[in-house]
Amino acid sequence: MKKESDEKVIAVNKKAAFDYFIQETLEAGIVLQGTEVKSIREGRINLKDSYAKVEGDEVFLLNCHISPYNHGAFYNHEPTRKRKLLLKKRQIKRLIGKALEKGMSVVPLKVYLKRNLVKVELGLGQGKKLYDKRESLKRKEEEKDMARALKAKYR
Task: Indicate the pLDDT class of residue 82, thresholds 50, 70 and 90.
Answer: very high
CA pair distance 107, 115, nearest whole angstrom? 23
Q: Domain extents for the chain?
A: 7-128
pLDDT tens per residue across span 21-76: 888 899 999 999 888 888 889 889 999 889 898 888 899 999 999 888 877 667 77
CATH pick for 7-128 out of 3.50.50.60, 2.40.280.10, 3.40.710.10, 3.40.47.10? 2.40.280.10
pLDDT tens per residue across span 106-154: 899 999 999 889 999 999 988 878 878 888 889 889 999 999 888 888 8
Count how many Cα atoms sit within 13 Å of the Cα of residue 21 in the half-sphere of its side chain. Answer: 11
Helix-strand-coil split of the chain, %, nearest 5: 30, 35, 30
- Measured CA distances, 75 to 11, 93, 116 (Å): 24, 35, 22
CA pair distance 113, 151, nearest whole angstrom? 35
Task: Indicate the pLDDT class of residue 4, thresholds 50, 70 and 90.
Answer: low
- Identify the CA nearest to 135 among candidates 45, 42, 8, 18: 18
Give the pLDDT confidence score for residue 86 in this predicted structure. Answer: 94
Longest dimension (CA), the chain: 59
